[in-house]
Structure 1
Amino acid sequence: MIELYTWPEAARLLLTLLIALAVLLQTAAMVLSFQRHESGPGHWGENCLELLVLMQILACSALHGQIHHNYFNSLLAPTGYGLLRILCFAAIVLMAAVVMLLKRKPWPLLVVLTAALTLPMLETACGNAFAYLYVAALLVYPARSIHIGRLRYREIRTSLSALSIKNTIDSLHTGVFFSEPDGFILLLNAQMHRLMQAISGGMRRNGNRFYESLLAGDLEPGCRRVEFQGQIVYLLPDQTAWMFTRTELRIKSKKYIQLTATDITRRWIMTAELQRQEAELKSKGEELSRSIASLHTLSQERETQKAKMRAHDVLGQRLTLLLRTIRSEQALDYELLRSLAQGLLDDLRTDQTAPSPQDELEGLRQTFGSIGVDIEVQGRLPQDRIKGRLFADVIQESVTNAVRHGFATKIWVRIDCSAGAYHLQITNNGYPPTRPIVEGGGISGMRKLVEPCGGALAVTVRPSFAVSVHLPGGADHV
C-alpha cells in the first residue's frame, strides 16, 4: 500500500469518495436484504453474507483512513488491520459456502474473489501492485451492491407478506376462514366477519361451533335457512343469499378446515323468477286446455244445433205439404203420404252424416284462429274420404298438442302427393320439448290411425317439433 503515498491528492480524494459510496450502497443492499418477507435458512444465509461484506468494506475503509493519517503526519508505517481483514475474509468464505449449498447458485464466489484482493498475504506477494488490486476490489463492491439491491427490491415487490395476504383475502366478496381441526380460527376475512355478525349476532372464536350453529339453524331474527340445489342457503335481512361450504385441506401432512361463504343472491333471484314463470306457464297451460275443451264442446253444440235446425226444416216442410193437402179438401193421396214419410228419414240421415274432412279442417282453422292461433295450410287433403279423414284427425291432434304443450301461436300444415304416396308434415313455433318424448295417448293414438292403413308416423324435435305422416297410394287431391 506504500504506492498510495505517491498518488496525487485528487486520486486519493476520489478513492475516499469511492470507499464512502461502497459503504453506502452495501448498507442499502443489506437493509433491503433484511426487509424481505420470506424467511428460511437460505435467506438468512444471504443476509449474513451481506453483513460480512459490509464489515469487509469497513475494514478497507479503516485501512484507507490509516494511510491518510500517516500521509498527513509524514509517517511511513506498514499497513495495519491485517487480522481484521483475514477474519472477515474467512467469515465471507464460510458464509458463501453455506449460501451456495442452500441456494445452489455460484454467484457467492464473486464476493469471495473480491475479498481475497484485500488480504495481507496478497499485499506481501504483489508489492506495489497491491494498491491497484485494492482499488479494483473497491470498484467491484459498489457494482455488486447495486446488483444485489435491485434483486432484493424486486423480491420485496413481488413477494407476499402476511399483511398482503390478509389484505387480499379481505378484498374478496366471498367470505372465508381457515381453522385448526379443533376449530381455532387461523385466518378470517372481513366478509366472513360480517356474515358471522349478521347470522349469529357476534364474533365466533371457534369455527367448528359456528358451523354447528349453521347446521342447527341457530340464526338471528330475520335470517332464514333454506335448501337450494342440495345445499344449505342462508337468507339475510338485506335480501342476500349465501351458501356455506366446508372443506378439509392437507398442507404438509397437516390438516386444516376451510369454510367458504359464496354469494348466490343473483342465482337465487333468477331461480325464484324461473319458478314463478314456470308456475305461471303451468296455470296458462291449464287455462288453455280448458279453452280448447270449451272450443270442442262449442263445436259439438253447433253441430247439434245445426242438426236440430235441419230436422225442424225437414219436418216443417213435410208437415206443410201434408196440411196443405188436407186443407184443400181433396182426397188423400196415400202414395204421396208414403213418399213423404220415406223421404223424411232419408233427408234426416243425409244431414246427420259428418261434414267432409276439408270442411272439418276449415272449421279447425276458424276455431283456433278465434284464440289467436294461426294455422297455415299448404295443399289440400286427399280425395279419398278415409285418407282425408285420417289426415284431418292427425292435424287436429297435432294442433291441439302444439298449443297445449308448446304454447304455439303459428302452425304450418303441408300436404302433398309424390311418388305414389301422400305426405303430411305439421310444424309449429312453440317451445321444443325439454325432455325425451314419451308417447302417450296423443301420439300413440295417431300412430294407431296411420299404421293400419300401411302408413308411417314420425316425430322429430330438432330443429323444431314436427309430426310427419306418409300414406301409400295416392295421386289426386280434392
Structure 2
Amino acid sequence: MVYSMSGFIKDTMKLQNLLMILMEICLILEFILLFSRIMRSAGKWKIAISSAWLVVSFLFMVGLLSDHQHRQDDLPYDPILYSFPIHVLVIAVILLTAYLILAIRRERKEYSNTLSPWSVYEAVNNVPCGVCFSDALGRIILSNAKMQELCRILTGNYLQNFEIFRDAINSAPVQKNIIKLNSDSNVFYLPDGSVWMFQEYQLKEPDLKGYVQTVAINVSEVYYNNEKIKSNNEKLEQLNRKLEEMYEKIGDEIREQETLAMKMKVHDNFGRSLLSIRRILEKKEEPDNMREQLENLKQQVYILTSSTADNKEDQYEDTEKHARELGISIQIQGNYPDDLIYRRLTDRALRECVTNCARHAHGTAVYVEIKNSRDGYQIQITNNGEPPSKNAKEGGGLSALRKAVEAEQGTMKTFFEPAFYLFLNFPLKE
C-alpha cells in the first residue's frame, strides 16, 4: 500500500521530536485545564471531558514514544502509527494546543467572575482585620492569616480551637508585654504598639444557626487620638482654671480702679469748687458763679453722703432731675422708707440704676416697686433697656452700694438674666 504522505515511523527524527514536544505541552495544558475545572467546581460533565482528553492524549503520547524508541534501536517492530501521516498529526496537535490555550483563558475568566470556596478564602485572607468562623463545638471553619497571627501573639499558639482562644481574650493574656485596656470590649495593647479590639457575633441566619463570627479590628488610630484628646482636655481644664482666677483678679482690680478714679474725681471737683468759692468770697471772681459752684459742691456731697436734700420729697425731685438729664423716666410704685438712712440708700440705688440704664442698657425708663411690710422694706428696681451681656457682674458702683446696704443690716441681690433686677431688703428698726 502506497501513501502520498510519509508516516510517522518513516519521517525524520527532528519532525518526530517536534511532534512529541508539542504533545508534552498539550499534556501540561490539559492537566492545567482539568485542575482549574476541579477547583472551580465547573460541573461533572466538563470535568469528565477534560479527564477523557487527558487520558487519550497520554495514550497517544505513549504510542509516539514507543514508535520513536524502536526507530532509534532499528529492531524488528510493528509500528503503532505506521499508517498515520506525520504532517496531519502535527497539524492536529497544533490545533489541540490552540484549543487548550483558549479553554484555559476562558476558565480563568470564569474563575475570576465566579464565587468559589477558594475565592472566598482568598478574599477573607487579604482583609486587614482578623476574621474567624467557628461552629457550636468550637471547631474552626474559616480563619484568615491575620487572626492566626493575633492568636499566636495572645496565646503563643496558632488558632486550633475557638474555645481556647475565647478564654484567652476574655481573661488575662498568656504572653507578656500585652496589656488588656478594656475588659468589657476586649481591647489589647500589643508589643508592637498596635491596639486591637475583638468582637464576637452569633450568626442568626437559619442556615448558619450556631455558628460564631469573631472579628479583630485595629483601633490604634482611634486609641491614640483619644489619648491626645484626653491630654488636650486636661490642658484646657487647667487653662480654664487659670483664666477664671485671672478674671476674678481683673474684676477686683477694675473695681478698685473705679473706686480710686471716683475718689480722685470727687477730690478734684471738691477742691475746685471750694477754691472757686474762696476766690468769690475774696472778691477775686464774679459773684454770679457762686450758684454754679454751690450746685457742683452739692453733687459732690451727694456722692459722699448719698443725699442732696433734707426731706424725702426734695430728695426724689433731685434724683428725678438727674434722670431727666440722662433721658430716663422714673416710675415708682409705693413710698420711700421713712427711715433717713434707708431713704438715702434707696435713692443711691435708684441713682446707680438710672446711670447703668443710660450707660449700659440704653433704656428710657426705670421701674421701682417699694413694699412696706411687718418685716421691713422690700425694694425692686429694673429697667426697659437691653439685657445684660453674658457673664455680667457687678461694677464698682453696685459693689459699693452692697457694702453700704450690708453695713445697715440689709441685704442686696442682683440678677442679670433674663433681665437686670436689683432687690433691696431693709429690716424694720425699733
The match for 1:147 among 86, 99, 106 is: 99
Match runs of 1:134-213 below 5 Å: 139-149=91-101, 151-152=103-104, 155=107, 173-200=128-155, 202-203=157-158, 205-213=160-168
Displacement after TM superposition at 1:167 (Å): 8.2
Q: Does structure 2 retain, via aligned residues, the 8 Å contact 1:179–1:258?
A: yes
- Kindly provide the amino acid, as one letter, of the partner of residue 287 in structure 1: K
Q: Is 1:289 matched with 2:244?
A: yes
Hey, what does 2:299 align to over in structure 1?
346
**Cα distance between partner residues in 2 of 1:60 and 1:204:** 51
**Cα distance between partner residues in 2 of 1:39 and 1:176:** 24
Q: Secondary structure in 2 aligned to 1:243?
A: strand
Percent identical residues: 16
Displacement after TM superposition at 1:26 (Å): 3.1
Structure 1 unaligned residues grouped into runs of 5+:
82-129, 329-336, 358-383, 402-440, 450-478
Displacement after TM superposition at 1:265 (Å): 1.2
Displacement after TM superposition at 1:38 (Å): 0.4
**Cα distance between partner residues in 1 of 2:173 and 2:20:** 69
**Cα distance between partner residues in 2 of 1:49 and 1:347:** 124
Q: Secondary structure in 2 aligned to 1:397?
A: coil
Q: Does structure 2 retain, via aligned residues, the 8 Å contact 1:245–1:261?
A: yes
Change (3 A) 1:23 1:390: same
Hey, what does 1:27 align to over in structure 2?
27
Change (3 A) 1:7 1:187: closer
Q: Does structure 1 retain, via aligned residues, the 8 Å contact 2:8–2:16?
A: no
- Kindly provide the amino acid, as one letter, of the partner of residue 185 in structure 1: I
Change (3 A) 1:310 1:391: closer
Q: Does structure 2 retain, via aligned residues, the 8 Å contact 1:310–1:348?
A: no
**Cα distance between partner residues in 2 of 1:43 and 1:400:** 88
Displacement after TM superposition at 1:348 (Å): 3.8
Hey, what does 1:241 align to over in structure 2?
195
- Kindly provide the amino acid, as one letter, of the partner of residue 190 in structure 2: L
**Cα distance between partner residues in 1 of 2:95 and 2:204:** 45
Match runs of 1:63-142 below 5 Å: 139-142=91-94
Match runs of 1:24-63 below 5 Å: 24-36=24-36, 38=39, 40=41, 41-42=44-45, 44-54=47-57, 57=60
- Kindly provide the amino acid, as one letter, of the partner of residue 30 in structure 2: M
Q: Does structure 1 retain, via aligned residues, the 8 Å contact 2:7–2:84?
A: no
Hey, what does 1:273 align to over in structure 2?
228
Moved more, 159-168 or 281-290: 159-168
Change (3 A) 1:18 1:196: closer
**Cα distance between partner residues in 1 of 2:205 and 2:49:** 27
Q: Does structure 2 retain, via aligned residues, the 8 Å contact 1:184–1:206?
A: yes
Displacement after TM superposition at 1:268 (Å): 0.9
- Kindly provide the amino acid, as one letter, of the partner of residue 54 in structure 1: S
Displacement after TM superposition at 1:32 (Å): 2.2
Change (3 A) 1:172 1:343: closer
Hey, what does 1:116 align to over in structure 2?
none
**Cα distance between partner residues in 2 of 1:63 and 1:239:** 67
Moved more, 274-283 or 182-191: 182-191
The match for 1:389 among 354, 360, 373 is: 360
Q: Does structure 2 retain, via aligned residues, the 8 Å contact 1:32–1:153?
A: no
Q: Does structure 2 retain, via aligned residues, the 8 Å contact 1:232–1:244?
A: yes
Displacement after TM superposition at 1:240 (Å): 2.4
**Cα distance between partner residues in 2 of 1:61 and 1:252:** 58
Displacement after TM superposition at 1:269 (Å): 0.8
Structure 2 unaligned residues grouped into runs of 5+:
283-289, 307-321, 327-354, 364-384, 394-414, 421-430
**Cα distance between partner residues in 2 of 1:232 and 1:176:** 15
- Kindly provide the amino acid, as one letter, of the partner of residue 27 in structure 1: L
CA distances 1:269-326 after superposition (whole Å, capped 9, x unpaired)? 111112221232233234323323432332222122223334444566778899999x
Displacement after TM superposition at 1:231 (Å): 4.3
Displacement after TM superposition at 1:8 (Å): 5.7
**Cα distance between partner residues in 1 of 2:151 and 2:388:** 61
Change (3 A) 1:279 1:324: same
Change (3 A) 1:154 1:311: same
**Cα distance between partner residues in 2 of 1:300 and 1:173:** 64
Change (3 A) 1:394 1:148: farther
**Cα distance between partner residues in 1 of 2:164 and 2:144:** 18
Q: Secondary structure in 2 aligned to 1:178?
A: strand
**Cα distance between partner residues in 2 of 1:241 and 1:8:** 76
Q: Secondary structure in 2 aligned to 1:152?
A: helix
Q: Does structure 2 retain, via aligned residues, the 8 Å contact 1:176–1:191?
A: yes
Normalising by the residue count of structure 1, what TM-score does the alignment of the two structures yield? 0.47
Hey, what does 1:412 align to over in structure 2?
none
Q: Secondary structure in 1 aligned to 2:240?
A: helix
Displacement after TM superposition at 1:264 (Å): 1.4
Q: Number of paired residues?
A: 312
Displacement after TM superposition at 1:148 (Å): 0.8
- Kindly provide the amino acid, as one letter, of the partner of residue 53 in structure 1: V
- Kindly provide the amino acid, as one letter, of the partner of residue 232 in structure 2: Q
Hey, what does 2:406 align to over in structure 1?
none
Displacement after TM superposition at 1:227 (Å): 4.4
Match runs of 1:320-469 below 5 Å: 344-349=297-302, 389-390=360-361, 397=389, 445=418, 448=419
